[in-house]
């Protein structure tokens, strides 16, 4: 499948991915020591929901479109709040037009002492990122294959932070590459926080991926998987994040928010599954 960010910005998969990302960064910045966020497949950084790509799929309507401007239950606000604050930050007039990708979410939450490394191989997106952040000394944009990020950038000099590995799944074997990237990255930076995104489409392939991740036997691992339609192997039905060393409060926050989230999104049969050892 091809999951280039521009066509899917703000959809239900982004809700989960970016809510977890923002939640983790909000936890990290509570301590004064500098940190670094590394984004292996950064995309364009900021998306116009009126663009041809966004309007062609209209997926954002079922994600951020159903959450924007709503009064949310306290348990849902506690989980989504850091992410929704970043969406509001790129829409200062209160109208939902722009959606922040993971680079913009991270940049908006980091402090002056922190750093952000963005990898993007696609020429147009890479050049756009470099132009978007050319005046921000905290941001380093590198136009290279993001699969090389664990070997090239871990551990970061700050020794604190996270790496998001969020490939577009354009090539066969990306599930295997995710497993290899986590194994390599954790070997280099056992104390780092890892977030690995994956789509849920083919149930057999996802099960095989889960087994391979479990086989790494990496402690403090938690898999968060959102399913919003039956998994039939023909279309994107859900998405997940494998997390390592995430804050211990993440799992309880997700459990508390789960039912309210699906109610607001209008998906009564939606499921938010947690597995692994987050202790």
Q: Output the average pLDDT for the chain.
A: 93
Q: CA nearest 100: which of 143, 154, 145, 44?
A: 44
Q: CA nearest 13: which of 150, 197, 193?
A: 197
Query: Binning pLDDT at 50, 70 and 90, where does residue 235 land?
Result: confident
Structure tokens belonging to residue 47: 């998306």
The model's pTM is: 0.95
DSSP 8-state assignment for residue 101: -
pLDDT digits (tens, 9 = 90+) for 115-141: 999 999 988 888 999 999 999 999 999
- Tell which phi-psi region holds residue 146, choosing left (phi > 0), alpha (psi between -120 and 50) or beta: alpha
Full residue range of the structural domain in which residue 219 is found: 5-277
Structure tokens belonging to residue 3: 């999951």
Q: CA nearest 248: which of 209, 205, 277?
A: 277
DSSP 8-state assignment for residue 240: E
pLDDT digits (tens, 9 = 90+) for 149-206: 999 999 999 999 999 999 988 888 999 999 999 999 999 999 999 999 999 999 999 9
pLDDT digits (tens, 9 = 90+) for 84-117: 999 999 999 999 999 999 999 999 999 999 999 9
Q: For residue 23, what is the domain's CATH number?
A: 3.40.50.150
Q: CA nearest 26: which of 11, 42, 37?
A: 37
Residue 2 has pLDDT above 50, yes or no: no
Query: Which amino acids are annotated catalytic?
Result: 166
Name the more confident of 236 and 184: 184
Start-end of H helices in the chain: 12-28, 52-57, 64-67, 74-89, 102-109, 123-132, 149-153, 174-188, 203-215, 250-265
pLDDT, mean of residues 262-277: 91
Please give the tally of structural domains in the chain.
Answer: 1
Residue 33 has pLDDT above 80, yes or no: yes
Q: Is the peptide bond before 155 cis (omega within 30 degrees of 0)?
A: yes
pLDDT, mean of residues 51-79: 92
pLDDT at residue 234, as a whole number: 83
- The span from the CA of 92 to the CA of 114, in Å, is 24
pLDDT at residue 1, as a whole number: 46
Look-up of token digits 């709040």: 81
Query: Binning pLDDT at 50, 70 and 90, where does residue 279 land?
Result: low
20, 102 contact by CB (below 8 A): no
pLDDT, mean of residues 15-41: 97
State phi, psi for 43 to the nearest 5 degrees: 75, -150
* Neighbouring C-beta atoms of residue 184, cutoff 10 Å: 16
Residue 211 has pLDDT above 60, yes or no: yes
């Amino acid at each position: 499948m091809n999951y280039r960010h521009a066509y899917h910005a703000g959809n239900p998969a982004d809700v989960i991915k970016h809510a977890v990302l923002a939640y983790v960064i909000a936890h990290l910045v509570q301590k004064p020591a500098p940190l670094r966020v590394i984004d292996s497949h950064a995309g364009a950084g900021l998306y116009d929901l009126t663009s041809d790509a966004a309007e062609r799929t209209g997926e954002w309507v079922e994600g951020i479109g159903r959450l924007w401007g709503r009064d949310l239950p306290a348990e849902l606000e506690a989980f989504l709040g850091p992410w929704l604050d970043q969406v509001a930050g790129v829409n200062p007039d209160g109208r939902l037009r722009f959606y922040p990708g993971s680079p913009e979410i991270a940049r908006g939450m980091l402090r002056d002492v922190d750093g952000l490394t963005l990898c993007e191989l696609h020429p147009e997106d890479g050049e756009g990122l470099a132009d978007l952040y050319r005046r921000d000394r905290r941001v380093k944009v590198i136009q290279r294959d993001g699969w090389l990020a664990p070997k090239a950038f871990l551990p970061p000099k700050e020794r604190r932070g996270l790496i998001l590995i969020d490939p577009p799944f354009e090539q066969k074997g990306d599930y295997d590459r995710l497993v290899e990237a986590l194994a390599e990255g954790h070997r280099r930076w056992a104390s780092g926080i890892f977030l690995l995104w994956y789509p849920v489409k083919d149930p057999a392939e996802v099960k095989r991926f889960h087994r391979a991740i479990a086989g790494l036997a990496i402690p403090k691992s938690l898999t968060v998987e959102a399913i919003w339609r039956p998994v039939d192997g023909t279309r994107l039905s859900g998405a997940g994040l494998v997390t390592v060393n995430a804050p211990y409060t993440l799992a309880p926050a997700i459990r508390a928010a789960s039912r309210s989230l699906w109610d607001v999104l209008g998906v009564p049969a939606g499921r938010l599954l947690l597995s692994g050892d987050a202790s």
